[in-house]
Amino acid sequence: MSIVRRTAVPPALAGPALAVALAALLPIAFVAIMIAQAGGPLISALVFRPRVGTLLVNTALLVGIAVPLCVSLALGLAWLTERSDLPGARLWAWAFLLPLAIPAFVQGYAWATVAPSLNGLPAGLLVSVLAYFPFVYLPAVAALRRIDPAFEDAAASLGLAPWAAFRRAVLPQLRVALCGGGLLVGLHLLAEYGLFVMIRFDTFTTAIVDQFQSSFNGPAANMLAGVLVLCCLLLLRVEAAIRGGERHARGGSGAPRPVGRRQLGRATFPILAACGLLAAASVGVPLVTLGRWLVVGGTAIWQWDSLGPALGQTVVLALAGGLLTTLAALPAAWMSVRLPGSVTRIIEGSHTLVGALPGVVVALGLVTFAIHAAPSLYQTTLTLLLAYAVLFLPRALIALRGSIALTPIELERVAASLGRSPVAALLTVTLRIAAPGAAAGAVLVALGIANELTATQMLAPNGTRTLAMAFWALSGELDYAAAAPYALIMMLVSLPLVVLLRARFRPGAP
């Protein structure tokens, strides 16, 4: 109920927010410049060729089939764990979130070693659904919990049988959550590199990396990147159209009641078996594969003189990136809470839009930028951190926005009345209160960075060897046993992510 007055935007905050927005747009601007410089004939020669057609078909089939699969699977699982008497529902809920701790390329590595003949679209679909369905499951569960069971009661009193009541009274209210989760899966599918290389399925992203590795920063890579950006924008449009413009405000506030759970009856055992199969495929296969390689490798694979530095570099990069990204997102986050308006929306939009783009595009843009505009930045840690900041801005922005919104604006006004400047009030009052949420956001970013492969490989200075890079190099040489310790450490490092995400999607969380 806080009324936000139209106040002048403090230049101390608007300046940085604008600068960050422009910096975020930098990589994509350079991709666009490269395409424009190539000229019409070259563009059509590079874009309208069978190779691009194959990639388009592959990518469209992948996204078009895997996303609906993930959404329906996640919806069914969310219903089972939240609304049915499935035995051990709480344990299953954790089991369905655990794939979040397994980097997609480790999932791909596990399946490629279990069934080396797996390849092509069916394999790509199988592994990507296993790796990404939790992205929909998590918001679906959260939304299902927020919906007052009174709606189903009301539908029942109006003559609807339980299934019809769920379909007509509950499902439409889940649409926003399901669309958001589906969009996330789609964007990840467009951006994923390692998984599809492991499973030998060509998408735009794998093709761009190939192109980059063979002809460096040629127009062909940029052209493919341009098409990939268009795919992302199309996906965003499609999601917005399906989601619709409406927002569902919850009507009234009845006392929350415990939800009645449906009895599964004779279906219990088949459903338990299916859940077990899913958990075995999504978590069991990677764990067992990893375990097997660890046993096969024995102590020889624990070479701490290379594991140690890789872990150290990963931690330093992740923490520095997390901090930088959070700081970069701060001005825009503050503006979006305190000064909503069209200018803020544009700045915010440029923060989040670029974050939706695949790492390969951002990396390509930054390489181009460094070569053409700032050669001294080429292959430096700074450029790499910049790429991380651009890629993970949305995560930091969302976490900061939520925690700044928890601080009443009155506190900033009181601080101002006591003589603090707006920036000082922000730093000493709002940020002090928002600190836990901001820290959680920084950790989320750091965890994302720790498992980032594509942009890291393309931008890291010589001598850099993160866990993901080392894992990738070793598994690329088919030394699966030596790669296993790296995968294990990455999964252990990612476990807090599962706990953090689950906590954030609790009802009542910011």
Partner 1 sequence: MSGLDLQGLRKTFGSMEALAGVDLRVPSGSRTAIVGPSGCGKTTLLRLIAGFEQPDAGRLALDGRVLFGEGAPVPSHHRNIGVVMQDGALFPHLSVADNIGFGLSRRDPSRAGTVAGLMDLVGLPGAMRDKRPDQLSGGQQQRVALARALAREPSLMLLDEPFSALDTGLRAATREAVAALLAAKAITTVLVTHDQAEALSFADQVAVMHDGRFRQIGAPRDLYLRPKDAMVAAFLGDAILLPATVAQGKVDCALGCFAADLSTDPGPCQLMLRPEQLHVSTIAEAPAAASTGEVVGISFGGASCTIQVRLASAPDLPPLRLSVPSRAEHQIGEAVAVAVDGPVHILPIS
Q: Is 476 in the site for partner 1 (CB under 8 A)?
A: no
Provide, rounded to whole angstroms, the least separation between the CB of residue 66 and partner 1: 27
Instruction: Measure Cα distances from 441 to 389, 445, 501 in Å.
Output: 13, 6, 10
What residue has token string 């030394």?
Answer: 479
Nearer to partner 1, 40 or 252 (CB): 252
Nearer to partner 1, 160 or 307 (CB): 160
Provide, rounded to whole angstroms, the least separation between the CB of residue 148 and partner 1: 7
Q: Is 253 in the site for partner 1 (CB under 8 A)?
A: yes
HEC per residue, 204-257: HHHHHHHHHHHHCCCHHHHHHHHHHHHHHHHHHHHHHHHHCCCCCCCCCCCCCC
Which range binds partner 1 by CB under 8 A, 132-140, 251-259, 289-297, 310-318? 251-259
Q: Is 251 in the site for partner 1 (CB under 8 A)?
A: yes
Contact residue for partner 1 among 4, 36, 91, 161 (CB under 8 A): 161
Q: Is 507 in the site for partner 1 (CB under 8 A)?
A: no
Q: How far apart are CA 12 and CA 22, in angstroms?
A: 16
Nearer to partner 1, 97 or 177 (CB): 177
Amino acid at 304: W
Provide, rounded to whole angstroms, the least separation between the CB of residue 28 and partner 1: 36
Q: Is 250 in the site for partner 1 (CB under 8 A)?
A: yes
Decide: 81 and 141 in contact? Cβ < 8 Å: yes
* Ordered alpha helix ranges (H), 39-49: 40-47
Please tell me whether residue 75 adopts helix, strand or coil conformation: helix
Q: How far apart are CA 122 and CA 203, in angstroms?
A: 14
Q: Is 200 in the site for partner 1 (CB under 8 A)?
A: no
Q: What is the DSSP secondary-structure string of 132-193?
A: HTHHHHHHHHHHHHHS-THHHHHHHHTT--HHHHIIIIIHHHHHHHHHHHHHHHHHHHHH--
Q: Is 260 in the site for partner 1 (CB under 8 A)?
A: yes
Q: Is 172 in the site for partner 1 (CB under 8 A)?
A: yes
Q: Is 241 in the site for partner 1 (CB under 8 A)?
A: no
Provide, rounded to whole angstroms, the least separation between the CB of residue 250 and partner 1: 7
Instruction: Measure Cα distances from 436 to 17, 388, 400 in Å.
Output: 22, 22, 10
| CA 66 remoteness from chain centre | 16
Q: Is 145 in the site for partner 1 (CB under 8 A)?
A: no
Contact residue for partner 1 among 33, 153, 427, 431 (CB under 8 A): 153
Element (H or E) spanning 203, and its range? Answer: none
Nearer to partner 1, 84 or 173 (CB): 173
Provide, rounded to whole angstroms, the least separation between the CB of residue 143 and partner 1: 12
Instruction: Measure Cα distances from 249 to 173, 189, 239, 246, 252 in Å.
Output: 10, 31, 20, 9, 9
Q: Is 168 in the site for partner 1 (CB under 8 A)?
A: yes
Please tell me whether residue 262 adopts helix, strand or coil conformation: strand
Structure tokens at 156: 């029942």
Provide, rounded to whole angstroms, the least separation between the CB of residue 170 and partner 1: 10
Which range binds partner 1 by CB under 8 A, 50-58, 253-261, 447-455, 470-478? 253-261
Amino acid at 94: W
Provide, rounded to whole angstroms, the least separation between the CB of residue 160 and partner 1: 5
Decide: 331 and 487 in contact? Cβ < 8 Å: no
Provide, rounded to whole angstroms, the least separation between the CB of residue 268 and partner 1: 21
Q: Is 122 in the site for partner 1 (CB under 8 A)?
A: no
Decide: 474 and 321 in contact? Cβ < 8 Å: no
Q: Is 173 in the site for partner 1 (CB under 8 A)?
A: yes
Provide, rounded to whole angstroms, the least separation between the CB of residue 247 and partner 1: 9
Provide, rounded to whole angstroms, the least separation between the CB of residue 263 and partner 1: 13
Q: How far apart are CA 463 and CA 460, in angstroms?
A: 8
Q: Is 162 in the site for partner 1 (CB under 8 A)?
A: yes
Give residues 53-72 in contact with partner 1 (rule: CB under 8 A). none
Contact residue for partner 1 among 19, 57, 115, 158 (CB under 8 A): 158
How many binding residues for partner 1 (CB under 8 A)?
28
Which residues are CB-contacts of 91 (< 8 A; sequence separation ≥ 6)?
none
Nearer to partner 1, 162 or 408 (CB): 162
Nearer to partner 1, 1 or 418 (CB): 1
Contact residue for partner 1 among 29, 47, 73, 150 (CB under 8 A): 150
Structure tokens at 71: 């959404």
For partner 1, the binding residues (CB under 8 A) are 148, 150-151, 153-162, 165, 168-169, 172-173, 175, 246, 248-254, 260
